[in-house]
Each structure stands twice: as C-alpha cells, then as structure tokens.
Structure 1
Amino acid sequence: MIFIHFTACIILVATCNGLITHSKLLGRSVKPLLFAETVESVSNKAPEAEINRRRNLAIISHPDAGKTTVTEKLLLYGGALQQAGAVRQKAEQRGTQSDFMSIEQERGISISSTVMNFDYNGKRDFSEDTYRALAAADNSVMLIDSAKGLEPQTRKLFEVTRMRKLPLFTFCNKMDRPALSPYEIMDQIEAEFNLESFPVLWPIGDGDRFKGVLDRMENVVHLFIKSVERGGKADVQQVPMDDLETLEKLIDDKELFDKLLEDRELLDELIPPLDMDRVSAGDLTPLFFGSAMTNFGVQLFLDKFLEMGVKPATRVAVNKDASSDDVLTVSPEHEEFTGFVFKTQANMDPKHRDRLAYVRVVSGVYEKGMKVGHSRSKPNKKYNLAQAQALFGSDRSSVDVAYPGDVIGINNPGCFAIGDTLYTGSNRVAFPGIPSFSPEKFSYIRSPNPSDYKSFRKGMDQLLDEGAVQALRQRNDDGGGPLMLAAVGQLQFEVVQARLKEEYNVESIMEPLTYSLARWVNSGWDAVDKADAAGKLFGIMIVQDRWKRPVLLFRNDWKAASLADEEKYLELAPWSQPPDFES
C-alpha cells in the first residue's frame, strides 16, 4: 500500500482488530481540545493557507497491481522527477525513486516504506509505500489491475479503509493490456464492498486499442500519444466530446467511437451526479481508468484528486492526565503542535547508523529546536527536536518548519515507537496507538559466527525498532537466550537477513517454528500460570515480548479460539501496543 500526501503522505500496517481503538473512540461523544495556555502564551497555530494546500493519499492494492509505477508517475507529473524509473529496469533505465533498497531493486518489489515530498500546482505531495500508513492518511486510493479486478489483498486493505471511514478513490490501472469491462469492475466493487462508484475518467478501449479517456466532469476526451522518451510524459490531445467529427477521425476505430457514444449516453442516464459529501464519507468512490506504465490518465487523476481530496482532517485523541472518558478532537487549526509516529527506520545513512522516526504532523507548526512531550513518558519529560528532515526516498534535506499533513523524519533516541504521540502544551495528548499485527510466521534467528555477536545484537535491536518483525523470547529471558522473530509473512524474515548482511556485515541462520499465530495475554502472567496449572496450555508455546509481557503461540486458529472462549480470564488479544513507561 502506498500513501501519497499532497504535501505529505503516509501508510499504516494494521489488522482490522488493530483499528478497534479508533472505532471505539470515534463512537463516543467527543469535545474540542482546548489547549491550556503556556507561560509564554506562544501560539504554534498553523497558517490556514498551508493547511488547505495539503492532501494525503494512501494507495492500497494487491501485489503487482502497479503501486510503485503509479508512484513514480505521480512524481513525474508532480515535477519531482524528470524521468520516471522502472521497477525492473533495463541497462539504460534508472531505478525507481521509491524502491531504493538493494533487495527491492533486485526483486522488483516494494518492501520498505518510502517517503517523498513534492509540490504540484501549489499543492504539496508525499507518497509512502507501506501498509502501516493508513493510520495517518486522510484519503485513500484503491489501485486495481484492470485485467484481474478485485484481488485478496485489495479486499483486506479495503476493510481497513472502511473502518477508518476514509474517502476512497479507485484507479483502474494497466488499461494498456487486455482488461475487464469497466462495467464489470463497477459491479465487482458494488457487489463485494457495497460501495457505489462514480466514473470520472472513462476508458476508450483497452490493450493495444486503448486510445485514452473521457473526462465526464469536463465532457472532454483525452487522446494519448505514447512518449518517445522512455519514462517520459505522454503527449495528450484534448477534444471536446461534442466535436464528433474530429473525435471519430482521431480515434480512427469505428467500433470504439460508437461504443464511446453509447457509454456516455448510458452513464449520463444511469449514474446520478457526483455527491462529494458521499465521497468524503466513504460511501461513494470516484472511479478512474488509465495506464501508469504508458502514462495514460495519471496526470488527469492527479489533477482530479487535488480537487476532490480532503485536506488534513480533525483527529480523535485523549487527555492522558484526565479520566479515560476525556476524549478530545484535535483539528489542524489547534494552536499547539501535535503529531504521531507511524514508522521508524534504521540506517537511512549506513555510515552513521542513524535511526529515524517518521512523524505525521496533526496540528500546529513544527519548528526547529522545539521541545515536545511524549505520550508514554512522564508529563514533565521533554525532548528537543533539534532538527527535522524532509524525505524523498533515500534522500533527505533539513526543514525548519512543517505543517499539519506533513511528514517529517526526526532523530530517534531509542524511545520513540510506532503509535507514539508528540505534543506541546500542558495537556498530555495521545492519539489512538497503532497496534502491531498478529504474526503468522515464527523462526529462531542466530549468527553462526560468535565473533559477530555484537554486530548481530546491534543490528537486530535497530531493525526490530522498525516494527516489521517482532522479537519474542522464552519466559524470564533477559536477552541471553535464543531470539525468536515473529512476522506476518516470510518475506519479512528474508528482508531481515538481507539487511543484516548488507548493512551490518553479519550472516544469520533462520530456524522456522511450526506455530501459525500469536495471542497476547492482557491479564498478565498470573492468568497464564493459572491456565497452565489447569492443563489448558498443552501444545501452546509460552513466550514473552520485548516488554516481557506474556504471549501464547498456537498452531491453528481453532485452538486459539477455543482457549479464548473457555478461559475468558486470559483476555487474549491478537494485537499489542507499546506500554507506557517512565523516564
């Protein structure tokens, strides 16, 4: 999933269960957050013009639907690149800006989250390539392979966007290949998601006969001419729909011309006018067709999104110094700075072994050198944000100010975790955390060379901070015993091994385990001991997470469901969040 922010953009990896916190908070009565005056009465309020020109977009799709290619072309049309890169490039082509890790370039896939900021027609854009960023997005786009229609991973990610009530835009990609009928795609979306669609860009042909698109909002046909330069922008010829003589001549295909006229009449009769209130509520999806590979329709989509997408949104938070029912709303216009960490990454600069925390600004203004509170630390504990960085793939540049909707990279001293809130003012503000996935793959990892132990330990500590994999150990193990990794998929393990070798010069060996899911025991170790003494945990592995909290590993869903139903005092949960700590 990719998240693009027209000034900033992000993405989240979370299960549906993991977003229950958001749903519960949004279902309760809330009140505007009234920040207490500081002694200096300094306002960090963001200028309205800066808020209004920002858009966030998270791209969700099944693998190989074209996420990276779409991102590259958005960067191309946004003016951030002179030439779009290729996921699998030939010798004369440059690689993609968003897939900059060597393992991504070797395999032609997106693995790590990538952040880009760029300006386009007075708006600012940012894209991100990870599932996790949906928590920070204000809009989402569902990217569909037009030949395949809806696929399993697309369905999963749609459920997450639906729970967050995000406006959803749909882009049907790869129209340069033989594709399903656009009516068939519309029927799939409505049948499977109970979601109506409004065609904004309508295709003229597909495969080798893909001629362009009809912009139904402007009643103009855009006929595309393939760019001579590889990766360059496509030339476009615009013809008013009413100029039938010119259209027929340029389309030069009687069947496609007649079908265009028939489709326009049918759509105008059957599809009600576009209702932007329904779009904002996530009840109607604007529908676009195009081809990122040939650049057909990408710029049109970008222009339309800037018109239709919502600006940085008000978010729900809690005041941690008050009762648990003190639910607050934090709008971008609030006078205090607030933001939350949605991603961490090690070794952005391998020479310095640095660690970055990616922060989405929710309200107020970030200013270089400002001091902020941390939602999981003591209220009087402050952190100095000495500098922040704007991110563009693997490239970084210093920024002195940032506004709501922006994503900035800040130095992570080791205490910032995914889901943490940073804030100014006297109210200890906390946005709902971003839970970790319930892992499905488990494996011991070790270095075969004792002389590499220190480098292995350092590398694992920093990579684990990123959250793509989790660390588990035997009960009461303070770090000297075997390290177990837990992840959603096998690829995460391969990435850890590849990065250990490339970034830390450490070889590693993986020893897979046969368990298939984990459950955290929220009621603590006493409940685990009670169940174990009663013989209820036979065949279940008891381990602890990095915060020494109890975790049970199961070989199948049935066993986990049975234990949860029979021994409710265990309070089993499929996800976890970092605990509060005092420092």
Structure 2
Amino acid sequence: MVPSTSSNVAAEAGRRRTFAVISHPDAGKSTLTEALALHAEVISEAGAVHGKSGRRGVVSDWLEMERSRGISITSAALQFAYGDAVINLLDTPGHADFSEDTYRVLSAVDSAVMLLDAAKGLEPQTLKLFDVCRYRGIPVITFINKWDRPGREVLELCDELTERIGLQPMPLTWPVGVAGQFRGVLDLVDGSFVRYTRTAGGATAAPEERLDPGRAEEELGAEWVSASEESELITAAGGEFDAARFLDASATPVLFGAAVLNFGVRHLLDLLVELAPRPSARLDVDERPRALDAPFSAFVFKVQTGMDPAHRDQVAFARVCSGVFERGMVVTNASTARPFATKYAQQVFGQQRSTVETAYPGDVIGLVNASALRVGDTLHDGKPAVRFPGLPSFAPAHFAVARPADLSRAKQFRKGIEQLESEGVVQVLRSDRRGDGTPVVAAVGPMQFEVAAHRLDAEFKSPVKLDHLPYTTVRRLTDPAQRSVVDSGGRSEVLTRTDGTELALFVDDMTMRIMLRRNPDLALEPLVAEGSAGT
C-alpha cells in the first residue's frame, strides 16, 4: 500500500502533465502523438508510413476502421514517463462528426496542444476547439506543423491567431527557411540555431545540432537574418513570452516543426514538462474545490469496448482528481450509490495495457469490466459523497431507425446498441410509436453511423439496417404533457433519450415554426451543450 499523505499526493500530482492533442482533421495529431512517444523513448520506431494508402497503424489509432481509413475516429490515451515527469497524453479525433468525443476529453485535461497545418492555418474545426478551450480556461500550446511542406508565410499564420481568435502568439521557436525549405529553428530562449537531420522515413528521433548565432548567420546567411528579424517583429508586437498569460489562456506559446520527420518535437515535449499546468483542485457539482489530498475521487470521461478483441471487455477511462488510487479498492459510483470493485485496473498506452497498482491526481486509468459505469459517472472513496459535473450530450443532427439485418441476431443487436450508447458512439432514442425493437440512433455527424454499423457487424456479428429519417430540426420538449401535440403533426415526433430528455424532432425549421404558431404555449427549448462553442 502507498502512504496517502498530503505531501506524497502533492509531490506525485506535481509530476503529472495531462493534456490533449487537438486540431482539424489531417493536421497530424496521431503522427505528433507518436513522435512525442518516440522522443520519450517509450517506442523505438514510429509506426506511420505517411500517405494513407500505405499507412501502418500508429499506436493511438488501434480500431481496424481507423487503420483502414487512415483517420482517428476515437480518442486514445497514452501514459509514459519522460525524465521525472509522468505524461498523460490524450489523442483525439479531429473530424467534426466525432467532436463530442473530443469535447469530453477536454474535460479531463489540464492543457491542450493545438496543431495547425502550415498550409491551412486556422480551419473551422480548429476554431471551434479553440473556443471550447477558451470557455473552459484550458491553456493552449500551438504547434505549427508540416513546415517541411510548402505553406503560408510565418507572420501571416501568427497574425491569424490574434485576428481570428484573439489569442496572442508568443513564439518560443521560429522557423529558419520558408515552409517547404525547413532548415531548422531559431530557439528564442537562448538565440541558438537548432538544425535537424532527417532519418529514414522519420522512423526514429531526428538528431539535433545547436549552432551559436554567429555561426548560424555564417552558414545560413539571409535565411537566418530573415528569421531573426521576423521573430523580433512578433516580440515587439506583444509576443514576448509570459508564463502567466499562457496559464490564464489569454496567449499561446508557438512552436514550429514537422512531426512526420520528428523535427521540433523535443522542444514541445520539454515545454510541456516545464510549463504545462499541474493538476489542481477540481470543482464538484456544488462548485466546491476538491483538494488534491482529499480521499480518492475520479470521473469517467470515456467508455470503450473492443480494445482487446480476444476478451470483449469494456474499459472505462477515468481521470483521477484527488487522493491515491490503489488497485483493488472498492469505491462508490456517485450516480448509483453502488460499490464498484477496481480489481482490474490498467495503465493504457494506445491499445496496449498493463496492470496499474497506484495512480495519482492527473492520471488516466482504465477500469476493466466496467459495464456498470457510464460517461460522466463520479467514483469516490469514503464519505461524504462527491460528484463532479456531468458531461454534456450534444444536440444530434442526424437520425436513423436501426434494425437487425438478421433477425436471428436480435439479441446481439440489442446488446450492441446498448454498448454503443454507453460509449457515446451514438445516442439512442425510443418512442411508443416505434417500440424498443427498432430504436432510433442519433448522431452529431453521419460518419458516426458508419462507425456504429461497422462495429455492430465486426464486434457483435449483427449487421444492421439503417433507415434514415428526414428530421433536421431538434428541440427539447420541456412539458411531457405536450408530447401528443408534436406526435400528431405528421412531420414531427417526440423521442426519448436514455437520460429522460424528450426530443421534439421536425422535418425542417418551417414545420416547427408553423406548429409553434398553432400552439403558442408549446414548451420547446434549444439543445445547447456546455462548452460546445455553438455547435
């Protein structure tokens, strides 16, 4: 048993850095995730062959569909040591259809690394994610990626951060050479030039050589002078580094690199260890801070099945908020007030797992055989009970009736639907009109239906038929007594979500407006998720 003293908990929490990697699709999140693990020497060779048609699976892309598509469709957790620090890294899907998964992950981290594509800059999903980070006060480090390829002007990219999202860039490195002709970076901390050497396929960490400014100018000439002058312009315009501004999320440190070549990655990893916020007291539902040295508590932000196809187990990912977790302890699920045994607790590294005996605030633990746990549940040890704020369900925009393609697999179909709902892959809606045998599945984006259908077939051996419904407008019905009004409309109906929320669905906005004119007392409210940045 590990002594649960205040000083021990504080010291261990101080070693933790828990952050998410977020961005628009194809900006290089999974590649960067692997590059960070490579520089921490927890993997010996990067697993990506770049060009999606020949891509091998990266450690954080473990679903078969991710490997075949070359995209991340679910978040993944990786924990590893780097020096004296313990890194809890959460790789997230960038596609907007899976943004609900990304937003849940953001509830479990203390900071975020935002990737920008050097050729594209701020893209729509990037803007939304910045808004979510700002809403939650999450400090953001910006890594401008793919500088080895042709891209935009460096000053233009920095100006975009200020002009479009009001975030002051504070560059800590500056690229030497225009995008596509990457010579290395000017380290603005000490003024030296860091030159990188390519390795075969970017499979191993890129060797680095440091040159003093005089030698750099001698060897690089105009490119060095240009980088020095440009960086001075940003610094003079308010971009001098200020740790306090980073921590209050009003400014962002900026680094440049090429994750595919492992250029600039060590700078990022060192910056995270040095500057990223440590775990701190988290507010419970009553907005009371839960001290780090209070008895153990954690909240579940993700549930996943299928990580180990041989065992069909279900893993609940929980962020430790206070105290010391010890494998085997029996904790209480605050949602049900029932005990939960933690005999099977694991440290997660992508799809790889190993038994974890202890964990501290900031750590992400995987609880196996966790069919009793759902996203948003709070786990705690002892009394009084504690509960952290639940995680929001987003307003769905796409709806389909789900039926088993093979009626002899109806039992497996029901089990699969329940599983996908508990993981948050889709929302499941039901009504008296349709019955429990033909639930309606709802999604933020249509690709979620592809994932659901693929997993029902691959994992539960139950092919599914999806009959898409024409609804485009959704509202929350606040008065259940008015359900019949909506159901009698012909082009609308009410469906009930598992959490009891009643959703009024309409074919289009005009249909809803006509119904409201005819029934001015109809109690409808918009569905807006906390921190959804208007999505």
TM-score (norm 1): 0.83
Q: Residues of 1 paired with 2:369 and 2:510: CA distance?
A: 40
User: 2:382: which partner in 1?
Assistant: 425
Structure scoring higher RCO (CA < 8 A, sep ≥ 6) equals 1
Q: Is the 8 A contact 2:55 2:70 kept in 1?
A: no
How much does 1:452 deviate?
1.6
1:248 paired with 2:217, answer yes
Q: Is the 8 A contact 2:486 2:494 kept in 1?
A: no
User: 1:95: which partner in 2?
Assistant: 57
Post-superposition CA distance 1:327-386 (Å, at most 9, x none) = 311132x321111000001122223221111100011011112121222123xx322222
Q: Residues of 2 paired with 1:160 and 1:547: CA distance?
A: 24
Gaps of 5+ in 1: 1-41, 319-325, 578-583
1:552 paired with 2:512, answer no
Post-superposition CA distance 1:437-468 (Å, at most 9, x none) = 11111112222212221222222221221002
- Structure 2 counterpart of 1:330, from 266, 269, 290: 290
- Structure 2 counterpart of 1:494, from 450, 472, 477: 450
User: 2:123: which partner in 1?
Assistant: 151
- Structure 2 counterpart of 1:447, from 391, 401, 404: 404
1:340 paired with 2:299, answer yes
Q: Residues of 2 paired with 1:340 and 1:150: CA distance?
A: 32
Gaps of 5+ in 2: 93-101, 531-535
Paired letter, 1:572: E
Paired letter, 2:483: V
Q: Residue 475 of structure 2: SS of its match in structure 1?
A: strand
Q: Is the 8 A contact 2:168 2:238 kept in 1?
A: no
- Name the stretch that deviates more: 206-215 or 488-497: 206-215
User: 1:372: which partner in 2?
Assistant: 331
How much does 1:247 deviate?
1.1
Q: Is the 8 A contact 1:564 1:570 kept in 2?
A: no
TM-score (norm 2): 0.90
User: 2:71: which partner in 1?
Assistant: 109
Q: Residues of 1 paired with 2:272 and 2:500: CA distance?
A: 46
Q: Residues of 2 paired with 1:487 and 1:148: CA distance?
A: 28
Post-superposition CA distance 1:520-566 (Å, at most 9, x none) = 33x3422434x449x7x563221122245421113345666897898
User: 2:284: which partner in 1?
Assistant: 317
User: 2:312: which partner in 1?
Assistant: 353
How much does 1:206 deviate?
3.0
How much does 1:501 deviate?
1.9
Q: Residue 184 of structure 1: SS of its match in structure 2?
A: helix
Post-superposition CA distance 1:497-539 (Å, at most 9, x none) = 1112222222222211111243333x3422434x449x7x563
Paired letter, 1:110: S
CA-based RMSD: 2.5
Q: Residues of 1 paired with 2:205 and 2:430: CA distance?
A: 52
- Structure 2 counterpart of 1:570, from 506, 523, 531: 523
- Decide whether aligned partners of structure 1 residues 570 and 81 sit closer, same or farther in structure 2, where only a CA change above 3 A counts: same
- Decide whether aligned partners of structure 1 residues 88 and 475 sit closer, same or farther in structure 2, where only a CA change above 3 A counts: farther
How much does 1:306 deviate?
1.3
Q: Residues of 2 paired with 1:162 and 1:48: CA distance?
A: 27
Paired letter, 2:354: S
- Decide whether aligned partners of structure 1 residues 568 and 369 sit closer, same or farther in structure 2, where only a CA change above 3 A counts: farther
How much does 1:266 deviate?
3.1
User: 2:255: which partner in 1?
Assistant: 288
Q: Is the 8 A contact 1:528 1:570 kept in 2?
A: no
User: 2:95: which partner in 1?
Assistant: none
Give 1:500-579 correspondences, 5 Å limit. 500-521=456-477, 523-529=478-484, 531-532=485-486, 539-556=491-508, 570=523, 572-574=525-527
Q: Residues of 1 paired with 2:77 and 2:363: CA distance?
A: 11
1:278 paired with 2:245, answer yes
Q: Sequence identity, in percent?
A: 37
How many residue pairs align between the two structures?
Answer: 516
- Name the stretch that deviates more: 496-505 or 462-471: 496-505
Post-superposition CA distance 1:382-417 (Å, at most 9, x none) = 222223111111111111111000001113543311
Q: Residues of 2 paired with 1:562 and 1:201: CA distance?
A: 57
Post-superposition CA distance 1:11-67 (Å, at most 9, x none) = xxxxxxxxxxxxxxxxxxxxxxxxxxxxxxx95755222111111112221111111
Q: Residues of 1 paired with 2:30 and 2:510: CA distance?
A: 37
- Decide whether aligned partners of structure 1 residues 574 and 412 sit closer, same or farther in structure 2, where only a CA change above 3 A counts: farther
Q: Residues of 1 paired with 2:14 and 2:271: CA distance?
A: 16
Paired letter, 1:81: I
User: 2:32: which partner in 1?
Assistant: 70
- Decide whether aligned partners of structure 1 residues 180 and 567 sit closer, same or farther in structure 2, where only a CA change above 3 A counts: farther
How much does 1:305 deviate?
1.8
